[in-house]
Structure 1
Amino acid sequence: MPETSSHRTGGPARALRLGVCGPVGTGKSSLIALLCRELSDSLRLGVVTNDIYTDEDARFLRSAGVLPAERIRAVETGACPHTAIRDDITANLIAVEQLEADFDPLDVVLLESGGDNLTATFSPALVDVQVFVLDVAGGGDVARKGGPGIERADLLVVNKTDLAPYVGVDCAQMVADAHTARQGGPVVALSRTDPESVAALTGWVRAQLDRHRTGSLVPRDPGPMAAHSHDHVHA
């Protein structure tokens, strides 16, 4: 790994903390696996996953071999996923800080929320930047329904675009609706089989890391969080 990967020209001495959240089944773990595969040759990475009662997401990433197993930590929230990424971030913050201490220096720590509904967002006290993930299989109308995650996360990913013809979704319209809901905020239409979309995602992550290193990245709160409802599946 290049010696320059941990070089910081200013700003925080710690790693960039990047949160990934979204509804159940949208491909959050697969997106993190993709980022690890694409970036681990040039950046020092760590991962913290969240599940309610298991470490299933962490085991998936470890079995995929995307990073050394010891760089992937699991938090069992014991409650709705949003509680551990927004309401009481203590367990996640401890896991991130321990990971950073064990493998200093790290460039990026990726935090994966458990699957939650469209209102779930990370506390800016936990992450510096956050990605909200939708997928075309969830329905072409989801993007225009809005919500804090869709509207105000730093990046919205419309995932699994290669499946659109098979689930009857107009992908171009879904992406256009996403841009409208976000008032022009960044949207990446992603398929892991499409190198151009993968490059757009990794380029965005690298740009956030550059901003973090220079001190120009200021975490912002995409909330306030709407009243929580149980329309998601506690898997």
Structure 2
Amino acid sequence: MPESVAHHSEASRPLRLGVCGPVGTGKSSLIALLCRELAADWSLAVVTNDIYTDEDARFLRSAGVLAEDRIRAVETGACPHTAIRDDISANLIAVQELEHDYPGLDAVLLESGGDNLTATFSPALVDVQIFVLDVAGGGDVARKGGPGIERADLLVVNKTDLAPYVGVDVARMLDDARRARGDRPVIGLSRSDRASIDALLAWLGAVRDRHREGHWVPTDPGPMAPHFHAEDHEHEHEHAHEHGHAHGH
């Protein structure tokens, strides 16, 4: 399929936004914030992930941020990372059902289950990824890096208003994050800091516009470890065997 046609096809459906990060960083609260801020202008739906419960979905429903049926829960039954990256079928079905039930959606927000610093979404599931850290997790977390911290489309350092209570230098933490990410954006976020909320909304609005225009290309921030296929291994083995004979081994 020509690239221009593929982009047009992707742009014709809602933006799929993944929000991931370690346990307790404020993923559900971030999604609730986005729903409150955008609901007047965007048509939204949400898919949450928990291992054995629908707790995050119940939190969002009780917060009244969207009509309850627009919030669907996936119970992964296993490592949360698996359901957003390795076997995305349950999440993909939930997203497609919401897109069918609510024509005209602007975006579907997907929340990962609480996982570790390596958890990222498959680009086959989401178009754009936000990775969430919080200051209570420690000021050195951003410096340690990892796939989401370094390569997600946006890194949010959340709960910056708590920094004085947990002994974290926010400016230094943000500086560490920017060094880890190069030119990729970083936002320090607090629900009590209107400017940070506006920066987040402006970034997301720009992403939606690029997606609608067919100019947004999903990237994969996941681990970039070397890998090979079985046939590659066989080829390498044969090459090594021939190389050994050539040297009289």
- TM-score of the superposed pair, with normalisation by structure 1: 0.91
Higher RCO (CA-CA < 8 Å; seq separation 6+): 1
C-alpha displacement of 1:109: 0.4
CA distance in 2 between counterparts of 1:171 and 1:135 reads 10
Structure 1: where are the runs of 5+ without partners? 1-8, 227-235
Secondary structure in structure 2 of the residue aligned to 1:126? coil
Deviation per CA, 1:94-142: give whole Å up to 9, x if none.
Answer: 0000000000110010000001000000000000000000000000000
Residue identity (%)? 77
Q: Which residue of 2 aligns with 1:139?
A: 138
C-alpha displacement of 1:223: 1.4
CA distance in 2 between counterparts of 1:223 and 1:111 reads 17
CA distance in 2 between counterparts of 1:12 and 1:43 reads 16
Deviation per CA, 1:12-32: give whole Å up to 9, x if none.
Answer: 211000000000000000000
Secondary structure in structure 1 of the residue aligned to 2:11? coil
CA distance in 2 between counterparts of 1:23 and 1:225 reads 20
> Does the CA contact (< 8 Å) of 1:119 and 1:225 recur in 2?
no
Pick the structure with more helix per residue: 2
CA distance in 2 between counterparts of 1:65 and 1:138 reads 28
C-alpha displacement of 1:184: 2.7
Deviation per CA, 1:32-82: give whole Å up to 9, x if none.
Answer: 000000000000000000000000000000000000001000000001110
Q: Which residue of 1 aligns with 2:45?
A: 46
CA distance in 1 between counterparts of 2:130 and 2:9 reads 24
Runs of 4+ more than 3 Å apart? none
Question: After the TM superposition, which of the residue ranges 176-185 and 54-63 deviates more from structure 2?
Answer: 176-185
CA distance in 2 between counterparts of 1:139 and 1:220 reads 28
Structure 2: where are the runs of 5+ without partners? 1-7, 226-249
Q: Which residue of 1 aligns with 2:234?
A: none
Q: Match for 1:96: what amino acid?
A: V
Deviation per CA, 1:200-230: give whole Å up to 9, x if none.
Answer: 111111111001000000001111267xxxx
Equivalent runs, 1:31-180 vs 2, <5 Å: 31-180=30-179
CA distance in 1 between counterparts of 2:10 and 2:117 reads 32
Secondary structure in structure 1 of the residue aligned to 2:211? helix
Q: Say how many residue pairs are matched.
A: 218
CA distance in 1 between counterparts of 2:89 and 2:10 reads 24
Please provide the CA RMSD for this pair.
1.2
CA distance in 2 between counterparts of 1:49 and 1:11 reads 22
Q: Match for 1:55: what amino acid?
A: D
- TM-score of the superposed pair, with normalisation by structure 2: 0.86
CA distance in 2 between counterparts of 1:50 and 1:126 reads 13
Equivalent runs, 1:141-220 vs 2, <5 Å: 141-220=140-219
Larger radius of gyration: 2
Q: Which residue of 1 aligns with 2:246?
A: none
Secondary structure in structure 2 of the residue aligned to 1:156? strand
